Structures are given as C-alpha cells and as structure tokens.
Structure 1
Amino acid sequence: MVERRHGPTAAADELEDLLSPLYEAGWQTRDDSSYLETTRTEVMALLSLERSCMVLGVQYRPADNALLFESTAMPQEVTASGLLTEYDVFDEPVTVDLSGSLEQRRAQVGDLAFRQGLLEPTYFQVPSDAGMQRAEVWIGLLQDYVGNDVLRAVDPATIGRPGPLTDTKWLSAMVLVLGDHLSYVMPDAVPRIAALGLTLSCWRNTKVEDWHADDAGLDVYDVLMAKLNIATSRALMLCIDADGVHWDEVREVLCDADRTLPDGRRLADIFQHGWTDILASVDEHIGYWERAEERFGADAVLRLLTLVGSDGATRNWWGHSWWPTLCQEAVTAATAKGVALPGGYDQEGAAALVDALSETPELLSDEVLEFCIDRVGLRFAHAELPTRRLVYPADWIDDEDV
C-alpha cells in the first residue's frame, strides 16, 4: 500500500498532479474556484476546470482514494457573443476510484478523461428544437473564442479568384472548410491536437504530398510517409504549449535541410530533387500562420490549429487520445484470426507490439509498421469519437425544465 500525506497542502498538490492529463488537454483551473475543506477526520480539495464554454467540477478526497467529477453548481455565465451560455460537462457525478502509486493514479484519471472525451476538443450537438442550427452555434463559438476579427477577415469571394494564394484567400478557404467538416467541434485550445494540425497544414499539405504521389518518381511509400508524419508531430508537440506556438522552434524542426528520421535516414535523401521545393513550400505555409498570429493573436491561432488537427484526415494518426485503443483493437482482432505477428513479435507477444505501436510507432521497422497498417488494419480502423455534449442558445428553454 502506498503511504501518503493527507494534509491540506499535500491534497492540493496531489490534485494538481492527478489532473495533469486534463491540463495538458487545454483545461484550466477556473479563477477563484480552488479551495480546501478540512475537518477533524478528513481533507477535501475542490476546484472547477474550464475550457471554452465547458466547465467541470472536481472533488478530491485523498483519505477515500476517490476523485469525483461533478456539476459545478455555480451560476453559468453568458458568453461574450450573447449567443451561448456555459455548460457543465456532467449532469451526474462520475467517480474515479484511485489506487497504486501517484503515477498509476494519474493514469487512472487520464483513462476516465479519455473515455469521457475530455482529452480531445469538445464535440457537441444542438437540440433539434433549439431554434438555432449547429453551424450557427459553431459560428458563435468562433466569435467567442477565436474572435470576430478572424470572421471579418474571411472573404469567400476570394477563394475562386485566379492568382497567387494570399493571406485572405488562405484564411477564407481554411475557415470555410473547417465549418463544413467540423461544425460539431468546439474551437478549444488543445496543444497536442494543434501539433497534429500544424503537421497537416505545414508539412503534409505542402509539396510533400506532391512528392509522395505515385507519379513523383520517388519511393516515398505509405509506411515511410507515416513515419515522417509521426516524427514531425512528435517534434512539433515540443514547440507548442498553452501559451501558443513557438514559431522559431517550428522552423528549426520543419526547415532543417539536414533533418533525419529516428533511424538516421535523411529527408534530403528521401525526397531527393524535390527537397528544395518542399522546404520552400513548408516555409510558405508557416508564414501564413505566423502572419495570422500577428493579426489575431496566439490563442486564436492555437484554437484554429486544434480544429485543423481534428480534421478527418488525421483521424487515424498517432497523437490522438484514441490511438492506443485503435492499436489494441486492431492487433487483438488480427491475432484472433490467427494472423502471425512479424519481426520477432511472434515471440514477444501481442502486448509488446501494442505497446510499441501505441508509444513509438516510428521506431518500428518498416516491415512491422507496414504489417500493422495493412495486415492488422490500422489504415481503415474506426475511431470511436467522443460523446457530443449538448449545448444550446442562451435564451433557449427546454419546456421539460419549466
């Protein structure tokens, strides 16, 4: 049994540590919401978390080894646009029974947060009788958290115009695509998902894709492209935090002419005569985001990148919270069908392959990763998306609640 101090300070420190998976996913402690209750027999730490318009009450009882997610029971404020109000994540309390070391307990909190969809940006839905379409609510969320300046800068008429890609044309096309594909995703700021968005926008959707195509004459096969994506995303995750994107570090990663994969292969050798064009294209795409940050601020850009990282194109990418589950389900299904595991994993076992595939897939041999993508079926694995939380206009009243 793990021995712990149960004093007020220890309880507050432990709670902050236990909630680190949520803090890393963009949740923040609400101002003036943290406090401690002490009696002769127990200590209880309480606080409220918030992310965009979603709020979450937390209660920690260290003596009972229990952490409770619950309604905040606080007055819900109307957002700046006046269209929406704040919403509690949970109507009913959800308890995490804690055991083991602090690291194990943190993992238990993280597992529940994953299962409740708290590690990805919030997915939402609108009641059919709310008098407002989901797309309208999404625009209201953009107003509240990305800013009216971004919406005013969008000019759909520029998208079809001939000529070079301007900042306005780039921004307009991006926001319209996001609204078309992702109007059920809140514009939260989630650094890990923003890194996937940056990989998609400033790496994969540049001239990299041209040289990956079959007619490019290069052998940039799918498994190699997957390793490039994963290595890029992992490196970019170190360049993004709650304060925003550190663009000088991003350039050091993406514009390094001598960049290598973890196995030592040089990207200049992989892309050969296309590498110079790729570097120029990457630099151009980074520039669009840098100038957007100068106009709209670091937080707005972080939120837009999180939306980009939530796009269906990244659905089966390493870095999403559901990736380990996809790996587990795919390998389990394959072994149940009698598929023999490659690369020594027939001896090490399926669990070892799942661990390696979940944590560091870019370090697997090309043979093993190709097996996982095509034979095990990760290429077409289906991610179970987070529960869509119910939101509605601020002036809407459900008749059943009257």
Structure 2
Amino acid sequence: MTIPSPSQADIDAAIAAASHRGQIADVDTAGVGDLAAALGVLRRVESGEAIADADVLAAHDLVHGSVLRHRDGGCMSRLAEVLVSRGVVPAPGDYDGKWWLWWPKSGRGPCRDCGKVRSLTRFSAHFGKEYRYLCARCRAAERDHDAKLAEQLWTALPALYASAVDNSSDRMPHPGAGDGAAPSTTGKADGRPSDDEWNCHVEQLHDMLASMERAGFVLPESWDIDWEPQAGALLFSEVWRGDGCVVVEYRPDDGVLALQPFDDATGEWPESFSLLDGSVEIAVAASGQDALTAVTHAAGEMGLLDATHVRVAESAPQEAKQEFAFRRIRRIFQPAADYRQLPLSEMLREITKNEWLDTYLDMVVDMAGHDVAPDILPDAAALGVAAWCWRNNTAVEAHHLETDVLMARVNVAVTRVMQEHVCPVEGIDWEGIEAALMDPQWELPDGTAIQSLFGDGWQEVAATVTAELKRWHHLDRDVLGPDTTMILMSIGGSTGYTDSWWGQGRWNHICRRIIEDATQAGITLPQPYNFRGAEALIADLADPDLVSDNVWDWLIDMPEAGSDGPRGLRFHHITRTPQRCWDPYWPTDSQS
C-alpha cells in the first residue's frame, strides 16, 4: 500500500484549509502533510485514475487521525463516498462507532445483501441492527423478514393469566421503568397477575400500537392497571398527539383493545380535544401480526394514522381563536428557533424574508392546509415531498403521462421512494431522495424505466424536481432544521392535493368504501375480482403496484357507473379527511 505523493496544488489546498482565523499555515504545520496526501488521492480518484481501495481507505484514515479533521474541506466525507461506491464500509465499532456522522446517508454502490450495484440508503442501527447500506429491494425484504420474526416471537409469549380475585388498582410501568426491584415471576397468592405477566401485557399493547406510535402518538411511560374477577386484567391510559387525545383500553383476557373518545372532565387540559367521536372495539386475541394488522386498519379507518384536521368552534370567543392560531404557529416554528438557537420572533422575521418559503406557507400551510395540526407524521411527510417536490412546482404536470392510470402508478412509485427516505428520528434524507428519483434504474414493477415514460421531457422534469429537492435540502439544513421541515411536509401531505393518494393511513378504508358502494349498486367488479370477490380486491389494493390497468381505471372513475354514482376514487366523498372540533369551555373576559 503506497499513497501517491501530493502535487503542489494539493499542498496549497491543505495549507489553505489549515489557515484559520488569521493564523497562516505552511507546509510544516501539523496535519498539512496528511491532508495534502489525502487530497491527492481524492483528486486522482475523481479524475478517473485507478487507485486501490486500500489506498483510498488509508487516505481517509489519514484525515480522520489528523488535527485538521474538522477543517478538511469535506475531503474525508468525499473519500467515504468513494468507499461506499466500492462496497467498502466500516464495521460497527470502527472509528469509535461514530463513522456514520460523516459517511454519506445515501450513494451508489454494491448493496450489502444482494451485492448488486444500485442506489443505496444508510439505515440506522435500531433494534439491534448495525448501520448498513441497502438498496430499496433488500430493505423491503428486510422489513418482511422482521415482520415474520415478530409474529414468531409473539406466538411464543407466555399465555398464563390469573383467575382469582383482586379489586385494587395500581400503576403499571412500561418494561424497563420502575424502582429497579426485580419483578415477581409468579402470580400472587390471591391469584392476581404477576409483575412479569403485567409486563407481558404492556409489551403486547405497545406492539399493537406500533402504527399509532409511528404516526406521532406518544405512548405513556406507564399504564393504569386494574384487575377484577369477572373482567380480568385491564390496562388503560390517554394517548396524545399534540393537543389531540384518544383513550386506550386493553383487556387481554377478552382479547379486546378499545379506542375511545377523550373527555377533559376535570379541566386539566384546556387546549385539548378528542380525536374520536365514538368508540371502537378491536379483536386482538389472534396471533401478533394479525392483532397489529387489526389495530392498524381500525386506526387508519378512524383517521388516526393521518394528520389531524381540526377547526375552532364557531361559537368560540375571538381571543380563543387567536390563541389557537398563535399556538399552531409556535408548534410549527419553535423547533426551528431551537435548532437555530434564536428567539422565536427573530426566527419568524427571517422566514418571512424568504420569498419562496413564504409563498409555500401562504398557499400550502395557511390555505390548503389551514386546518392541519402541526405534528410530525413520517408517512404524511412522504406524501408532502411527493406532492410538492414531484407533482407540484415542477415540470411533471407539464409532461403529464398518457393516462391517469399511468400517473397513479408513478405516484405510488414516487411515494415509496419518499417513504424509504423519511425517518421520524433522522428527518428527511433529501440527497437520498434525489439519488433514487434520478437513478436510471428506477422503474415500475413491470420493469418500465420511469425516466423513459417522459421521453424528451425527462430532462426538464429532472431539472425541476432536482431544483425543488435541493431548495428544501437547503431550508432543512440551514434555515428550519429537521423537525420544522418534517412538520411542514406533513402538512403539505395532508391537503386536498393528496386526499385520494396511496400512502395515507385511510387508504384501505377508502378502497373498501368505494368497493362496498359499487357492489351495493350492482356494479360489476373488474376482472378477475368479479370471480375472486371484493375482499380479494381490497387486499390487493393495499399495495396496488401489481393490479392491472383495468382495475386502476375502475377504482379511479368507475366507468360503468351512471351520473348518479357510485363514485370512484376521483370523486368519492370518503376521500375527504374527517375534521375534529376544538370547542373551548374556559371562561374569557367576553363571557364574564
């Protein structure tokens, strides 16, 4: 392994990087020699010269160990990008386990699992996994594997429940919380469930609520518990997203999870409102994945997996309406002020000076999304990026594809890309989205390259889409920070522009209502579902990539229906998002 000698230009660049705050460096300054050598390797690689992987890695390590590591002009990160493109990725513990801080979030190179050279995304080390670079296909396979493993683990959980009498109530902490005492492993003498059995119930409950947690709900650190001889075990608590609340009750002995309206009877939460008007009981006695699916479908049907649409009651006093509006502004932009370490007032002044962002706020946040609560929802944010960086503000509409069916197929493909690059923890990976959308190998499931669908118009589409992604990337990184950006994209993905798109939590319910209305009106289902039945069609539309064009056409417009209906996806009223109402009861000066 021999690192080539740097050129004079490389040395000059290293000296310039080492010069800092009026202190002029020279060739003998600490770190200049190492940085110059690394810059020389990078220059040769970028010019197409054949440099061995070991030499590229050695150059990267020179910078990492140099005193100029944080003033290298991006040399170390660019060398890391080269290494990813060659399939050279650190082990989890390399560089003190912190290499992910400067290695790229996305790139192009051999996938860790399939080995094929594709667009890659770095996925985080959550749930016992290591940081890894995977293509979209292998990431989907990994998710499927995890789901199957979770189902296997679920069926192996203990099923021993107590059957004796105890009318007392306690507070049940989430697993891992508490005073540190070792839990009891057997039931109490009076037959009440043991601590281990209560913990098992809590684990099951949190597993079943996973889709709601991903949709922004904060699960409690501890649950109220009760046990009675006839009803058995009961776990219950309020579950919050912003100011909206749902009451959750879980009766494991009956295999029932209930989602109920919230009533602030004590007046402790004057800004709160209920996210439900009525109660629903969900059967969850089946295996783990079936229970999770049942809760996900029920929560989706009630709109709990999508952004909350809420209005102030017309009868509310004016000062209450003003406070509601001010509270919404604070919840959107306070994370940006914290990110920039600025007072909120100064942050808001800076935002209003950004003409492009101010236009988005006026048109999308204040008009189209005026009633959307400012929460972080990854799936809604994915729809927001798809709507405002692909379909709107770009040349995509100017080069509308041949049919609405084809546009719908591409919308699904675009939304899938966004979902892969939107994380509730890490935010939006703008560079990864750009790389995926601009990848010539990006294609529909039938193998059609999406770029080819736009023909000569692709160059303009690519330029305008890339421009929007870069604009938002700049705003995210330099102006708003990840949380406010996620909130704005969540609002953007929750307006009338996307209320009939695949990717929202209500999608399955929307499809079911359209199909039910059609069958009740005597409309024939599209082939082959005229033989397979409505439930098969509903199941296949959950992931509609592979359904035929005639199925899509039927779903969108229902061609056989008359002028009086029933309606397809384009005009059915079920696509309208349910709206909640905040009706404050606290007294004001005008009421006194």
1:230 to 2:418 alignment: no
Alignment of 1:159-308 (within 5 A): 168-177=354-363, 178-205=365-392, 206-212=394-400, 219-243=401-425, 244-294=427-477, 295-308=479-492
Structure (1/2) with the larger helix percentage: 1
CA displacement, residues 27-73 of structure 1 (integer Å, 9 cap, x when unaligned)? 1224xx41464769755444543222224443433224333446497
**CA 1:55–1:333: 2 relative to 1, 3 Å:** closer
The aligned residue for residue 152 of structure 1 is 349
Cα distance in 1 between the residues matched to 2:528 and 2:297: 30
The question of whether the paired residues in 2 share the 8 Å contact of 1:53 and 1:85 is answered with yes
Q: How far did residue 255 of structure 1 move? A: 2.3
The aligned residue for residue 215 of structure 1 is none
The question of whether the paired residues in 1 share the 8 Å contact of 2:238 and 2:248 is answered with yes
1:63 to 2:253 alignment: yes
**CA 1:20–1:397: 2 relative to 1, 3 Å:** farther
The question of whether the paired residues in 2 share the 8 Å contact of 1:239 and 1:245 is answered with yes
Higher relative contact order (CA 8 A, sep 6+): 1
The aligned residue for residue 4 of structure 1 is 159
User: Which shifted more, 18-27 or 140-149?
Assistant: 140-149
* TM-score for both structures, normalised by structure 1: 0.81
The question of whether the paired residues in 2 share the 8 Å contact of 1:34 and 1:46 is answered with no
User: Percent sequence identity over matched residues?
Assistant: 28
Cα distance in 2 between the residues matched to 1:369 and 1:91: 33
The aligned residue for residue 102 of structure 1 is 288
CA displacement, residues 377-397 of structure 1 (integer Å, 9 cap, x when unaligned)? 222222242241325497759
**CA 1:64–1:332: 2 relative to 1, 3 Å:** closer
User: Which shifted more, 257-266 or 42-51?
Assistant: 42-51
User: Which shifted more, 309-318 or 336-345?
Assistant: 336-345
Cα distance in 1 between the residues matched to 2:247 and 2:438: 43
The question of whether the paired residues in 1 share the 8 Å contact of 2:303 and 2:506 is answered with no
The question of whether the paired residues in 1 share the 8 Å contact of 2:332 and 2:488 is answered with no
* Structure 2 unaligned spans of 5+: 1-154, 162-196, 335-343, 560-567
The aligned residue for residue 216 of structure 1 is none
1:123 to 2:309 alignment: yes
**CA 1:391–1:152: 2 relative to 1, 3 Å:** farther
User: Which shifted more, 86-95 or 112-121?
Assistant: 86-95
The question of whether the paired residues in 1 share the 8 Å contact of 2:430 and 2:470 is answered with no
User: Which shifted more, 269-278 or 99-108?
Assistant: 99-108
The aligned residue for residue 354 of structure 1 is 538
Q: How far did residue 15 of structure 1 move? A: 0.9
The aligned residue for residue 38 of structure 2 is none
Q: How far did residue 269 of structure 1 move? A: 1.4
The aligned residue for residue 79 of structure 2 is none
Q: How far did residue 309 of structure 1 move? A: 0.5
Cα distance in 1 between the residues matched to 2:421 and 2:263: 33
The structure with the largest alpha-carbon Rg is 2
User: Which shifted more, 115-124 or 291-300?
Assistant: 115-124
CA displacement, residues 62-95 of structure 1 (integer Å, 9 cap, x when unaligned)? 22433344649798778xxxxx734454698765
Q: How far did residue 288 of structure 1 move? A: 1.9
The question of whether the paired residues in 2 share the 8 Å contact of 1:137 and 1:393 is answered with no
The aligned residue for residue 161 of structure 1 is none
The question of whether the paired residues in 1 share the 8 Å contact of 2:216 and 2:377 is answered with yes
The aligned residue for residue 312 of structure 1 is 496
Cα distance in 1 between the residues matched to 2:240 and 2:543: 31
1:389 to 2:581 alignment: yes
User: Which shifted more, 222-231 or 181-190?
Assistant: 181-190
Q: How far did residue 252 of structure 1 move? A: 2.5
* Structure 1 unaligned spans of 5+: 79-83, 159-167, 213-218
Let me know the Cα RMSD of the aligned residues: 3.2
CA displacement, residues 161-204 of structure 1 (integer Å, 9 cap, x when unaligned)? xxxxxxx2221111111212222210111111111111001111
Q: How far did residue 12 of structure 1 move? A: 1.4
Q: Give 3-state SS (helix, strand or coil) of 1:388's partner.
A: strand
Q: Which amino acid aligns with 1:65?
A: G
